[in-house]
C-alpha cells in the first residue's frame, strides 16, 4: 500500500507551495500523512461505533487537527484556508469520517462570537480535550428547538438533527425559536453542556457513519445562561467584530470567507477520499488477476490503465480548483477585503463541480476493479459511500448551486447562498 501511495504522489509535480502555506500547517499536514495507514485501519471500527475510534481521536488531537482554525488566544493554530484544506485532504485520504470531524471542529467559530464569559468557558480546556471541543445541530435550519426566557437566561427544549461530532464534544450548540419581549418570534442559538443533552442513536446511514452526526434532544427544559444565548439577527455583526477580537490569521476572514471555507473543506474531504481510492485501486490492480481476461494482473488491462490515468487527471484538476480557491480566500483575508457575492458564487460552483466530478471518478475506479471492493474491509467501498453522503450536504448539492450561479451568469437576479436554509430576516422579529 505504501508503495502505491508513493507512486501516486510522484506521478507529476506536487501541488505548488502556496505563499499562504505556513510552516505550522505543513508540519501538521506531514504528521497526518504518517497517520493515514492507521486511519484506514481503524475506519471500520469507527463505523461500528458510530464515532471515530479512540486511537484515531487521540492521534488526530495530538497532531493538532482539531485546533486548526481556533484563535491562538485559546491554544489554537489559527491557520488559513490553504493550510486547512490541505490538512483536511490528508486526513480524508485515510478516512472521510475523520476528515468530516476535523472540518466540524474548525467550523464552529460561530461560538467565538459569544461574550467573553461564554468563549472562555467553552474553549479554555481545548488543549486537554481529545476531539472537537464543541459540535452543533440545526443552528441554521428551518426546524429548530424552542427557548423560553427566564431570569438569567433561557429554558431550552427540542429536537435537532445532524449533530456531527457530538459524541466527541464537550459543548453542543443548537438553534431555537423564542418569543421576543416586543412580540413576534426570534431565532437564537443556545450553547449547552453535553450532559444537558441526550444524544439519540439514530445515525444509521449509508456513509460517514463514524461522523457521529446523530440527532440531539432536550425533552425536559435545560437552562442556558444569558451569556450562552445569542439572537441570530446579531450574528453577522458579531462575526465581523470577531475579526478584530482574536489573534491569528484564521480570525481575519469575513462572513463570506468563513462560509466559503466550509464549502472548500467539504470538497477537500471528497478530494482526499478520491486520492485514497486511487491509491487502493493501484495497489489492488498490481496484485489481482482478472476474472475473465487472459492477463497476469488487472494492472495489465487497457481498461485499468485508462481508468487510472483518467482518475489521476480528474483528481489533479479538482485539486487545482480547491487549492486556488483556498489561496483566493487567504488573499482576501490578508488584505482585509470583503469577498463580493459574485466571487462567492463562482468559488462555490467550481468547488461543487469538482466534488461531483470526483464522485464519478471513484465510481469508475470501483467498477473497474470489481467485486473485491464490496467487502466492508475494503476502503474503496467506504470511500464511495462516504463521498456520496458528503455530497448530499445542502451547501454543496450541485443542482441548487448551479441554479444560483446560473442566474448570475444569465443576468437574472440570483438567490443568496443558502437562502432556503436560513431564517428570512424579514419574516422574524415581527409581531
Q: Please choose, from the candidates 320, 322, 300, 324, the residue with its C-alpha nearest in 3D space to the C-alpha of residue 312.
A: 320
Q: Is the pLDDT of residue 124 over 80?
A: yes
- Give the pLDDT of residue 385: 99
Q: Is the pLDDT of residue 216 over 50?
A: yes
Query: Which pTM value belongs to this model?
Result: 0.93
Of the chain, the percentage scoring pLDDT greater than 90 comes to 82
Q: Is the pLDDT of residue 338 over 50?
A: yes
Q: Is the pLDDT of residue 92 over 60?
A: yes
Beta-carbon count within 10 A of 351 CB: 28
**Contact between 258 and 239 (Cβ < 8 Å):** yes
The CATH number of the structural domain formed by 129-231 is: 2.40.110.10
Beta strands in 194-296 (DSSP E): 198-200, 215-225, 229-231
- Give the pLDDT of residue 73: 92
- Give the pLDDT of residue 289: 96
Gap between the Cα atoms of 70 and 255, Å rounded: 16
- Give the pLDDT of residue 417: 65
Residue in the block written with cell 441570530: 232
Mean pLDDT over residues 232-252, rounded?
A: 90
Q: Is 159 helix (H, G, I), strand (E, B) or coil?
A: strand
- Give the pLDDT of residue 304: 98
- Give the pLDDT of residue 426: 42
Which helix (H) or strand (E) is 324 found in, with range?
helix 302-335
**Contact between 32 and 91 (Cβ < 8 Å):** yes
Q: Band of the pLDDT at 3, cuts 50, 70, 90? A: very low
Contacts of 27 (CB under 8 A, 6+ apart): none
Q: Please choose, from the candidates 207, 369, 331, the residue with its C-alpha nearest in 3D space to the C-alpha of residue 273.
A: 207
Mean pLDDT over residues 223-251, rounded?
A: 93
- Give the pLDDT of residue 12: 41
Q: Band of the pLDDT at 5, cuts 50, 70, 90? A: very low
Amino acid at each position: 500500500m505504501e508503495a502505491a501511495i508513493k507512486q501516486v504522489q510522484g506521478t507529476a509535480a506536487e501541488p505548488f507551495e502556496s505563499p499562504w502555506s505556513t510552516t505550522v500547517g505543513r508540519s501538521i499536514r506531514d504528521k497526518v500523512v504518517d497517520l493515514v495507514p492507521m486511519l484506514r485501519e481503524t475506519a471500520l471500527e469507527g463505523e461500528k461505533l458510530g464515532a471515530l475510534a479512540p486511537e484515531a481521536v487521540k492521534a488526530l488531537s495530538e497532531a493538532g487537527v482539531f485546533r486548526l482554525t481556533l484563535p491562538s488566544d485559546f491554544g489554537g493554530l489559527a491557520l488559513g484556508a490553504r493550510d486547512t484544506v490541505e490538512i483536511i485532504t490528508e486526513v480524508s485520504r485515510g478516512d472521510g469520517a475523520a476528515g468530516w470531524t476535523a472540518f466540524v471542529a474548525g467550523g464552529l467559530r460561530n461560538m467565538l462570537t459569544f461574550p467573553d464569559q461564554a468563549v472562555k468557558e467553552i474553549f479554555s480546556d481545548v488543549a486537554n480535550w481529545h476531539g472537537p471541543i464543541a459540535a452543533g445541530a440545526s443552528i441554521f435550519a428551518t426546524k429548530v428547538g424552542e427557548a423560553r426566557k427566564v431570569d438569567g437566561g433561557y429554558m431550552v427544549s427540542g429536537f435537532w438533527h445532524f449533530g456531527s461530532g457530538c459524541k466527541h464534544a464537550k459543548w453542543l450548540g443548537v438553534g431555537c425559536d423564542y418569543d421576543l419581549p416586543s412580540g413576534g418570534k426570534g431565532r437564537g442559538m443556545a450553547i449547552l453542556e453535553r450532559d444537558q443533552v441526550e444524544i439519540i442513536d439514530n445515525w444509521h446511514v449509508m456513509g460517514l457513519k463514524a461522523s457521529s452526526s446523530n440527532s440531539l434532544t432536550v425533552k425536559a427544559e435545560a437552562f442556558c445562561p444569558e451569556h450562552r444565548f445569542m439572537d441570530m439577527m446579531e450574528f453577522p455583526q458579531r462575526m465581523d467584530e470577531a475579526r478584530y477580537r482574536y489573534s491569528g490569521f484564521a480570525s481575519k476572514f469575513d462572513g463570506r470567507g468563513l462560509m466559503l471555507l466550509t464549502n472548500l473543506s467539504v470538497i477537500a474531504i471528497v478530494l482526499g477520499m478520491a486520492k485514497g481510492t486511487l491509491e487502493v485501486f493501484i495497489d489492488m490492480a498490481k496484485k489481482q488477476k482478472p476474472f475473465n481476461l487472459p492477463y497476469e494482473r488487472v494492472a495489465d488491462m487497457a481498461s485499468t490503465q485508462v481508468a487510472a490515468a483518467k482518475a489521476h487527471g480528474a483528481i489533479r484538476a479538482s485539486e487545482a480548483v480547491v487549492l486556488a480557491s483556498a489561496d483566493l480566500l487567504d488573499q482576501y483575508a490578508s488584505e482585509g477585503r470583503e469577498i463580493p457575492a459574485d466571487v462567492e458564487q463562482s468559488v462555490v460552483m467550481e468547488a461543487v463541480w469538482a466534488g461531483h466530478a470526483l464522485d464519478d471518478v471513484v465510481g469508475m475506479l470501483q467498477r473497474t476493479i470489481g467485486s473485491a471492493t464490496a467487502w466492508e474491509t475494503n476502503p474503496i467501498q467506504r470511500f464511495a459511500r462516504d463521498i456520496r453522503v458528503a455530497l448530499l450536504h445542502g451547501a454543496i448539492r450541485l443542482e441548487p448551486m448551479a441554479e444560483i450561479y446560473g442566474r448570475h451568469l444569465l443576468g437574472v437576479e440570483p438567490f443568496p447562498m443558502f437562502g432556503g436554509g436560513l431564517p428570512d430576516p424579514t419574516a422574524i422579529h415581527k409581531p
